[in-house]
A and B are shown apart, each in its own frame.
Chain A
Amino acid sequence: MSTVEAHSGEDHGHHHKETFVTKYIFSQDHKMISKQYLITGLFMGIIGIAMSLLFRLQLAWPEQSFGVFEVLLGKWAPNGVMDPNVYLALVTIHGTIMVFFVLTAGLSGTFSNLLIPLQIGARDMASGLLNMISYWLFFLSSVIMVLSLFVEAGPAAAGWTIYPPLSALPQAQPGSGLGMTLWLVSMAIFIASSLLGSLNYIVTVINLRTKGMSMTRLPLTIWAFFITAVIGVVSFPVLLSAALLLIMDRSFGTSFFLSDIFIQGEVLHYQGGSPVLYEHLFWFLGHPEVYIVLLPALGITSEIIATNARKPIFGYRAMVASILAIAFLSTIVWGHHMFVSGMNPFLGSVFTFTTLLIAIPSAVKAFNYITTLWKGNLQLNPAMLFSIGLVSTFITGGLTGIILGDSTLDINVHDTYFVVAHFHLVMGISALYGLFAGVYHWFPKMFGRMLNKNLGYIHFWITAVSAYGVFFPMHFIGMAGLPRRYYTNTAFPYFDDLADINVLITLFALLAGAAQIVFLYNFIHSMFYGKPTEQNPWKSNTLEWTAPIKHIHGNWEGEIPHVHRWAYDYSKPGHEDDYVPQHIPLKKGEQELQH
């Protein structure tokens, strides 16, 4: 059904008979699409996390035989011993899947779709059709990425950044053959999906807000999703251009990124290209991508912390300003990934300056979260625990960014495990916590049932302890000079004394993996047998909780609620309840907070 109809009609949603296919598969309803994103994202997440456990086993007990390798890797683990090429493939696909498929599509795709129409008071996305196409392109790209795991020579193995010439030349490593072609095709489709989704989010937020929902009354979740979409539209096309040029170099003999190469006894014809150009193009997306992943998580956290602290989010205006500042700065810092790439050192100075500036809005956000907790009445639901956990890992991981963003200090820790520890904490774990927080908080909205809180607590505490257990010691092996992406460290006896740290890290990783099984069980079980939810289980102010529990096309029966106040009137003096939903008109003489 068309959106125009949905907006003009009073009797929306009832005059089309929906078939199984239009309701569950090719649905244009944002709520169904958000569920599709979540479930696809979780499925990809299982693959990505399982891969990390496999290579963690190899790192803790290098070149040892494991039955699980024989079963899962087959001929790529002769006698159960992992092959070095497969190690690199696992690292590569783990990164790709987690960054793009889980934390971009799975996180932003799920919650932007679910919450943008519901929280701004719209019947659906601006274009239901584009929204549906966006999901199915994402699905197609996921299928291609998974299929690439089964090609003869193995999947792409050049690291998730796929720097040429390694990724361009099948002679350089087996994964750079068909596996890399599929990787590039999958990513190109993924980018198309992401662009369609982002454009839709932007248009919807700008045009379809309900009466009274001014930009200064938008919940911070929506601000975060909106700005994330803008960053995506600005930067993803540049990655697409990099991918297309790489496809040209690989398949049509051009020399955008290649020059003067001698490999396997042969001088290749490439002349005049530069891999550094690829690095610029890649990181022009690659760095904003960090914020594409992180901002939605921070938006979700803002909403959950305020709701569960029963307090207004502290410094709403500053929070919006820091989202905008982070978004702007994120597009002019990409060079900090390239301090030792051979680019002009003067550029290094510029990028150091812009990079360290990002610490300012980030610090503002962290302090504002902490102040929001101060003198609150904290309802420590699982979603709240994950949100507090997010602030904790965001601080721990963000602080080491001060070292890595400093070109001088980057010289010696670049591409070591210090970097791995930094970005896993600040974007990997933090964004995952955001995803989990969102799922625990909005599961009742999505499925009409509650997740089991005790399983949620177990999930959180084991994950929280093991996340620090995995990534905190990693800083130390990085500072010792241990490079990342090494199949084993045994080739350097100098690193022998780090072996026991690697065992410790792997044990914590296995523990973290086990905790996710608890979550999966809770998720699937509660979907069918969970306790039916109340209308507004968390006593939240935002509009989605005024929509009926049972999903209907068009979101609200009758008129869409009008908005009379911002989203954070928690514990406002003069009101009996400790929350005042956005659609409640101001009392006589009540002042609205000015931002």
Chain B
Amino acid sequence: MNIALVFTVLILVAISLWQITKIFELSQSKNENNQVANDNDNNLNGKLMFAFLLFIYGITIYSFWSYGDVFLPEAASEHGADYDQLMWISFAIILIVQTITQALLHYFAYKYRGKKGNKALFYADNDKLEMIWTVIPVIVLAGLILYGLYTWTDIMNVEENDEALVVELYAQQFNWKARYAGEDGVLGDANVRFLQDFDGRNLVGIDATDPNGFDDVVVQELHLPVGREVIFKMRSQDVLHSAYMPHFRAQMNCVPGMITEFAFTPTLTTEEMRQNPDMLAKVKKINKIRSENSKELVAKGEEALEPYEFDYMLLCNKICGASHYNMQMKIIVESKEDFEKWMEQQQTFAEVIQ
């Protein structure tokens, strides 16, 4: 089917090329063989410039209309709301500038399309005008910079405190692990040198001589209690990875040989996010696509796709090798009680190495 599609496109392209050549040829007078634009060329291309402006507006409106629902999905962290506000303000400014400048550029290209006998205006300088369009960006950008830096400091200022939950995110080709600090709230020392201890049961290389490590809990599915600050400590054992959690507006690289940090407070449990009307619509749409794809697969004798249910996710967002595209971990945000219940069922490091 794909090949048919590609061929159809190629044929359509060929036809449109042929047609466009004809239009251009017709627009030129017969006995002229000059490769410099003449009045007809200027006229046609000037009008096309105006049409192109409409095309740019059209594709902008179309994109927002049909893909607006995937654009910046609802945030599920405390700083996410600030992030989104800054994003929308920046975006509004960008859209306004884009609309005006593209209009001027293409409209002038259309309006002042050349004509034999016309003479352009000799207009080389205007200090006042140039001052205006230097100062306006300065003011707008100064505002954006100050607002941005204020938010940035707010987000990145990670302070250790007793209330916060400390979680280590541990990256390797091509999976994630999470380590909780346990009851003492302190992560035990760790290094890749210890990975081979205990017949490979020491999954993240905890130093068995550090007593702080014994109550640590290593898991392959990240559970977070809602409404409590989580301080992430990122590590990687092999190459660069990046812990990307788009719903929480959170990302930090995992760098072998050093520990990086990021912190946020989840505000919506997984269940609450699933009930969000936008999310319901999205999941419905995805499942419609999946069931259609499944029909094709079944027809080919393959297994059908499972229906999709929303979960928060942690993705790897720094190229890390062949299976980079599939390096993920499920994140579950739940109530404090559920989280504690889940935590009790996990084995501590001491239990694992016994």
Q: Which A residues are within 8 Å of any B CB, using their own CB?
A: 61, 64, 66-67, 84-85, 88, 158-159, 163-166, 169, 172-173, 258-263, 265, 267, 272-276, 309-318, 340-342, 345, 348-349, 352-353, 356-357, 359-360, 363-364, 366-371, 373-381, 384-385, 388, 391-392, 395-396, 399-400, 402-403, 406-409, 411-412, 414-416, 450-455, 457-458, 461-462, 464-465, 468-469, 472-473, 475-477, 479-481, 483, 485-489, 491-494, 496-499, 501, 507, 510-511, 514, 518, 530-531, 537-538, 568, 570-573, 578, 593, 595
Contacts and interface: CB of A to CB of B under 8 A. Distances in A.
Interface in B141-194: 141, 144-145, 148-149, 151-153, 155-157, 172-173, 191-193
Interface residues of B, number: 130
A284 B104 CA distance: 36
Contacts, number: 413
Contacts of B286: 493-494, 496-497
12 contacts: A166-B239, A260-B256, A267-B196, A379-B37, A380-B45, A395-B97, A406-B152, A453-B36, A468-B56, A485-B325, A491-B326, A497-B289
A375 B94 CA distance: 27
Given A349-B152, A396-B56, A411-B83, 14 more contacts: A165-B238, A261-B192, A275-B240, A276-B258, A342-B260, A356-B144, A376-B121, A378-B46, A407-B148, A412-B246, A415-B244, A468-B59, A481-B246, A493-B308
A493 B285 CA distance: 11
Nearest to B108: A373
Interface stretch (B206-214, B215-223, B247-255, B334-342): B247-255
Given A165-B239, A318-B130, A374 B255 contact: no
B120 A310 contact: yes
B114 A379 contact: yes
Contacts of B318: 163, 415
Interface string B221-255: 00000000000001001111010101101111101
Given A258-B257, A340-B242, A593-B124, A379 B13 contact: no
B198 to A, nearest CB: 15
A66 B3 contact: yes
A315 B129 CA distance: 10
A315 B130 contact: yes
A568 B17 CA distance: 37
Interface string B255-279: 1111010000000000000000000
B350 interface: no
B117 to A, nearest CB: 9
Contacts of A461: 20, 48, 52
Contacts of A164: 239
Contacts of B145: 352-353, 356, 406
Given A275-B255, A497-B286, A61 B239 contact: no
Interface of B: 2-3, 6, 9-10, 13, 16-17, 20-21, 24-25, 28, 33-37, 41-42, 45-46, 48-49, 52, 55-56, 59-60, 63, 67, 70-73, 83, 86-87, 90-91, 93-94, 97-98, 101-102, 104-106, 108-109, 112-115, 118-126, 129-130, 133-134, 137-138, 141, 144-145, 148-149, 151-153, 155-157, 172-173, 191-193, 195-196, 205, 234, 237-240, 242, 244, 246-247, 249-253, 255-258, 260, 282, 285-286, 289-290, 305, 308, 310, 313, 315-326, 328
Contacts of A570: 120, 122
A128 B164 CA distance: 67
Contact of A259 (B41, B256, B325): B256
B87 A409 contact: yes
A315 to B, nearest CB: 5
A473 B58 CA distance: 12
A352 B149 contact: yes
Interface centre among A310, A475, A489 (most CB of B within 10 A): A310
Nearest to B306: A493
Contacts of A414: 242, 251, 317
B120 A578 contact: yes
Nearest to B17: A458
